């Protein structure tokens, strides 16, 4: 049976993040992606001015009600950027209504990066994101979001010991079974992610070469590739490796092309890389 992934994020028309990353990337795995848009923006909010923003809070319940009448369920429910703090309650109801015992719930608590909230996100979102994380099987924060979820100040550098303490505190506070933490470094030359299995208390790392610059949307590229691998049956540890390698490949190509990094990374021309990493013949 073809897998079905519900993706609850905004559509930022320009800038390849949220749904414009999730739909193409997860589709590479052969899963069907069903979007539930939280807002429509002319571009994402990082580095652009004068972008439009249409909040879809009013539309989300009627859309979900239609699907409920059709008897829909999903193999994966993947939530990310929300358009308003009120959407937390709606998403919680959707998780209750559409997740079966076999559904994997992945919550990306999209709020912040490099120590700062995104421009439309206020601290009002924080408690709601904690509540969503408590309902997840897997959470995928970056280092900033992890610190904020714990009510801690973000630090520019985390040692391995500090990173591991962060993972264990998150698991304790939010009850997470699996945490995939992005933006982790082993040295100045590397960047990657840590995957923590709270049940076995094991932590694995995946690193790639760090490339200069700030690339928008890479958190969504990363989480979407992780989900692509999970739907192909990869373990969280192996899916994290796939996601790190694919994200690095997209960044490397974008860096080589010298394009404006606000427009996101070149996810399209690295689709063959993702197929190879997912071991899908083509």
**Site residues, ligand PXL (CB under 6 A):** 10, 12, 17-18, 41, 44-46, 81, 110, 118, 217, 219-220
Least Å distance, CB 183 to ligand PXL, is 13
Least Å distance, CB 45 to ligand PXL, is 3
Least Å distance, CB 143 to ligand PXL, is 15
Angle at 221 between CA 195 and CA 187, to 5 degrees: 50
> What is the C-alpha separation between 58 and 264, in angstroms, rounded?
29
CA 185 to chain centre: 18
Kindly tell me which of 110 and 227 has the beta carbon lying closer to ligand PXL: 110
Least Å distance, CB 22 to ligand PXL, is 10
Q: Are 152 and 144 in contact (CB under 8 A)?
A: no
In the chain, the DSSP E strands lie at 4-14, 32-43, 53-55, 74-79, 99-107, 112-113, 116-117, 138-139, 178-184, 190-197, 202-209
Q: Are 77 and 105 in contact (CB under 8 A)?
A: yes
């Amino acid at each position: 049976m073809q897998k079905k992934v519900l993706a609850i994020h905004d559509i930022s028309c320009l800038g390849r993040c949220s749904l414009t990353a999730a739909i193409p990337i997860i589709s590479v795995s052969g899963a069907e992606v069903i979007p539930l848009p939280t807002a429509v923006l002319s571009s994402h909010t990082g580095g652009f001015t004068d972008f439009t923003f249409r909040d879809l809070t009013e539309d989300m319940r009627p859309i979900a009600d239609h699907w409920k009448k059709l008897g829909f369920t999903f193999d994966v429910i993947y939530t990310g950027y929300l358009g308003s703090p009120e959407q937390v309650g709606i998403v919680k109801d959707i998780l209750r209504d559409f997740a079966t015992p076999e559904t994997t719930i992945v919550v990306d608590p999209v709020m912040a990066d490099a120590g700062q909230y995104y421009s439309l996100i206020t601290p009002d979102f924080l408690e709601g994101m904690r509540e969503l994380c408590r309902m997840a099987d897997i959470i995928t924060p970056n280092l900033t979001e992890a610190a904020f979820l714990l009510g801690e100040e973000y630090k520019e550098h985390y040692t391995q010991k500090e990173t591991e303490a962060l993972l264990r505190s998150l698991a304790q506070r939010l009850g997470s079974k699996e945490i995939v933490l992005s933006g982790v470094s082993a040295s100045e030359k590397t960047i990657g992610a840590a995957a923590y299995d709270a049940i076995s208390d094991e932590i694995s790392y995946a690193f790639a070469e760090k490339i200069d610059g700030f690339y928008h949307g890479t958190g969504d590229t990363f989480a979407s590739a992780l989900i692509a691998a999970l739907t192909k049956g990869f373990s969280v540890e192996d899916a994290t490796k796939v996601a790190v390698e694919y994200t690095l490949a997209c960044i490397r190509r974008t860096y080589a092309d010298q394009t404006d990094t606000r427009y996101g990374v070149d996810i399209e021309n690295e689709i063959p890389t993702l197929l190879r990493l997912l071991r899908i013949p083509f």
